[in-house]
Structure 1
Amino acid sequence: MRSEIATVANHKSVLPGVETMTSQSLSPSRSRLNASYRNLTLWTLQGWLAMFFVAAGYAKLSEPLVNLVALMRWPALVDQNMVRGLGVSEIILAVLLLAPLVSRKHGRALLVVAASGLLALETVMLAVHLTGADVGPAVTNLVLIAMTAPVVWFRAREVR
């Protein structure tokens, strides 16, 4: 019994010397192994994101505004309560990334919502850093977007 996952259609090559694609089906055990690797990769990304955002949120809550302005320019442009509120939201979303560890039934949906929220936050902050010419934080946000997008994409497919 073969799985229909990763089946590739046969095509006749028009170019001389170029091999044609062959049809390949993955066995059920190989499909499960690939799913295990994907799950492990996603959990690793979720853990890194959670650690990053708990630390970033904690810094926004505990550091004096002067230190935050030295690291990033945007805290000087907004109210201190907004910076602190952003720190609280980052910590909450980071903890919700790990919600499936507590409740498998409800945790998956919370994970997708949290990851989507972080992706939106990262996108907005990328725009803020780019307009403020903060190159370092902008690159950090690009890396965070590259880590969060697969989590949102694959975990949302699991929830359906």
Structure 2
Amino acid sequence: MTSQILTPARARLNASYRNLTLWTLQGWIAMFFVAAGYAKLSEPMANLIDLMRWPAFAPENLVRGLGVAEITLAALMLAPVVSWKHGRPLLVVAAAGLLALETVMLAIHATGMDVGPAITNAVLIAMTAPVLWMRSREAR
């Protein structure tokens, strides 16, 4: 096995690609959760029950509260745009919160046999986990 030593220019280029990839994922995650949170806040409960089964078993305040939480965490995913020094820890907290939310919702959708939402949550986990892992490593 050979080991490759990266030149400083190549290491900077790799770091730029990694940063661009993470920002792209963060943007997609934020857009998804702003839309999902807005739907939970603005749609009538009957529509939400038709779209997803679980709101039928949850109080309306819980569903609306999840909408607020999703929008808040989505905004915090983009906090480093305003201030890298103060926004990066908020990003890590938001990514951890969204990952926990996605994991719980994956379990709920999987046990309820909601295949589409379960796959969506699995994809969201696959997008959020690398963001959390890589951005938390940068924060050290």
TM-score (norm 1): 0.87
Larger radius of gyration: 1
- Report the Cα distance in structure 1 between the residues aligned to 2:4 and 2:84, rounded to whole angstroms: 34
* In 2: Cα distance, 1:52 partner to 1:31 partner: 32
Matching residue within 123, 126, 131 for 2:106: 126
Q: What is the distance in 2 between the residues matched to 1:22 and 1:106?
A: 40
Percent same amino acid at aligned positions?
A: 78
Q: How far is the alpha carbon of 1:24 from its aligned partner?
A: 1.3
Q: Report the 3-state secondary structure (helix = DSSP H, G, I; strand = E; otherwise coil) of the residue aligned with 2:135.
A: helix
- CA offset at residue 82 of structure 1? 0.2
Number of residue pairs matched? 140
The alignment partner of 2:5 has SS state of coil
Matched, 1:109 2:89: yes
- Asked if 1:80 is matched to 2:69, the reply is no
Q: How far apart are the structure 1 equivalents of 2:123 and 2:105?
A: 12
1:29-108 aligned within 5 A = 29-108=9-88
Q: Distance in 2 between matches of 1:143 and 1:103?
A: 28
Give the AA of the match of 1:78: A
* Unaligned ranges ≥5, structure 2: none
Equivalent position of 1:7 in the other structure: none
Structure with the bigger RCO (C-alpha within 8 Å, sep 6+) is 2
Q: SS at 2:58's partner residue? A: coil
Higher helix share: 2
